[in-house]
Amino acid sequence: MVRNERISIEGKPAHRTDGWKTSAGIRLLLFVLLGLLFYMAVANRLIPQTYDIEIGSVSEKTIYATKQIENAIETQKAKEEAARRVQPVYSILPMKNETLVEAIFEKLRQINADDQLSTTDKVNVFRNVFPTMYNDHAEMLYASIKVGEPGNEGLLNEVKTALRDQQYRIPEEVYFKFPRLTKEDLDAMEPVARDVVVRLMNDQLTNAQTARTRVAELVNTSPLTKNTSREMVQEIARFVITPNKFSNQKATEEERAEARENTKPVYINKGDVLVHKGERVTEETYGRLKDMDLLKEKVNYWPQLGLAMMSALFVLALYMYVRQSEQPIRHNNVQLLMLVLIYVLNVTGMKIVALGQNLEYANIGYLAPVAMGAMLIAILIGMPIAFISSILFALLSSVIYNVKGEELFDFRYGLVALVVCITSVFAIQRANQRASILKAGVMVSLFGAVTIVSLIFLDNVYTRNEIMLSFGFAVASGLLTAVLVIGLMPFFEVSFGILSPLKLVELSNPNHPLLRKLLTETPGTYHHSVMVGNLSEAAAESVGANGLLCRVGSFYHDIGKTKRPSYFIENQTNIENPHDHIEPSLSKSIIIAHARDGSEMLKEYNMPKPIRDIAEQHHGTTLLKYFYFKAKKQQEEGAEPIPEEEYRYPGPKAQSKEAAIVGIADCVEAAVRSLRNPSIEQIDTMVRKIIKDRLDDGQFNECDLTLKELDTIAKTLNETLLGIFHSRIEYPADAPAKTESKEVKQA
Are the C-beta atoms of residues 431 and 501 closer than 8 Å to each other?
Answer: yes
Residue 30 pLDDT: 92
Phi-psi region of 407 (alpha: psi -120 to 50; beta: other; left: phi over 0): beta
Four-CA torsion 66, 67, 69, 74, nearest 10 degrees: 70
Looking at the predicted structure, is the pLDDT value of residue 150 above 60?
no
Is pTM, for the whole model, over 0.75?
no
In angstroms, rounded to a whole number, what is the distance separating the alpha carbons of residues 690 and 714?
10
70, containing H or E segment:
strand 69-70
Looking at the predicted structure, is the pLDDT value of residue 10 above 50?
no
Average pLDDT over residues 308-333: 87
Complete DSSP assignment for 187-217: HHHHHHHHHHHHHHHTS--S-HHHHHTTHHH
Highest averaged pLDDT of the listed ranges 8-12, 170-174, 222-226, 697-701:
697-701
Task: Name which residue leads in pLDDT, 588 or 68.
Answer: 588
Residues with Cβ within 8 Å of residue 440, at least 6 apart in sequence: 375, 424, 427, 428, 431, 482, 485
pLDDT digits (tens, 9 = 90+) for 57-79: 888 888 877 666 777 767 888 88
Residue 746 pLDDT: 30
69, containing H or E segment:
strand 69-70
The β-bridge partners of 273 are 64
Q: Are strands 267-268 and 69-70 parallel, antiparallel or unpaired?
A: antiparallel
Angle, vertex CA 663, rays to CA 519 and CA 501, nearest 5: 70
Task: Name which residue leads in pLDDT, 152 or 287.
Answer: 287
Distance between alpha carbon 742 and the CA centroid of its chain, in Å? 54
Are the C-beta atoms of residues 367 and 479 closer than 8 Å to each other?
Answer: no
Residues with Cβ within 8 Å of residue 58, at least 6 apart in sequence: 278, 279, 280, 281
Residue 431 pLDDT: 59
Residue 302 pLDDT: 72
Residue 659 pLDDT: 93
Average pLDDT over residues 332-345: 92
In angstroms, rounded to a whole number, what is the distance separating the alpha carbons of residues 395 and 42?
10
509-737: CATH topology: Hypothetical protein af1432 (1.10.3210)
Average pLDDT over residues 321-339: 85
Position 747 confidence tier, pLDDT thresholds 50, 70, 90? very low
Q: Where in 162-299 does DSSP place strands (E)?
A: 245-247, 267-268, 273-275
Looking at the predicted structure, is the pLDDT value of residue 101 above 70?
yes
Query: Of the candidates 309, 311, 332, 308, which has an alpha carbon nearest to the alpha carbon of residue 322?
Result: 332
In angstroms, rounded to a whole number, what is the distance separating the alpha carbons of residues 334 and 37?
19
Q: What is the mean pLDDT of the chain?
A: 82
Residue 404 pLDDT: 61
Residue 14 pLDDT: 38
User: Domain ranges in the chain?
Assistant: 7-50+301-502, 72-88+253-265, 90-247, 509-737
Position 736 confidence tier, pLDDT thresholds 50, 70, 90? very low
Residue 730 pLDDT: 44
Looking at the predicted structure, is the pLDDT value of residue 743 above 50?
no
Are the C-beta atoms of residues 370 and 484 closer than 8 Å to each other?
Answer: no
Query: Of the candidates 503, 537, 510, 513, which has an alpha carbon nearest to the alpha carbon of residue 433?
Result: 503
Looking at the predicted structure, is the pLDDT value of residue 663 above 80?
yes
Residue 248 pLDDT: 76
Cβ burial, residue 267 (10 Å; 0-12/13-18/19+): middle
What are the phi and psi torsion angles at 294 (to 5°)?
-100, 5
Query: Of the candidates 532, 422, 417, which has an alpha carbon nearest to the alpha carbon of residue 477?
Result: 417
Residue 151 pLDDT: 55
Position 8 confidence tier, pLDDT thresholds 50, 70, 90? very low
Are the C-beta atoms of residues 540 and 661 closer than 8 Å to each other?
Answer: yes
pLDDT digits (tens, 9 = 90+) for 283-304: 778 877 877 777 876 656 777 8
Looking at the predicted structure, is the pLDDT value of residue 358 above 80?
no
In angstroms, rounded to a whole number, what is the distance separating the alpha carbons of residues 366 and 354?
10
Cβ burial, residue 368 (10 Å; 0-12/13-18/19+): buried
Residue 270 pLDDT: 61
- Count CB atoms within 10 A of the CB of residue 493: 19
Residue 737 pLDDT: 38
List Cβ<8 Å contacts ≥24 apart for 308-311.
Answer: 308/35, 308/39, 309/67, 310/38, 310/46, 310/270, 311/35, 311/36, 311/38, 311/39
Residue 709 pLDDT: 92
Average pLDDT over residues 182-196: 87
In angstroms, rounded to a whole number, what is the distance separating the alpha carbons of residues 126 and 136?
15
Distance between alpha carbon 350 and the CA centroid of its chain, in Å? 34
Looking at the predicted structure, is the pLDDT value of residue 15 above 50?
no
Looking at the predicted structure, is the pLDDT value of residue 453 above 80?
yes
Phi-psi region of 745 (alpha: psi -120 to 50; beta: other; left: phi over 0): beta
Highest averaged pLDDT of the listed ranges 63-72, 160-169, 287-296, 535-544:
535-544
Position 16 confidence tier, pLDDT thresholds 50, 70, 90? very low
In angstroms, rounded to a whole number, what is the distance separating the alpha carbons of residues 555 and 662?
10
Average pLDDT over residues 110-119: 85
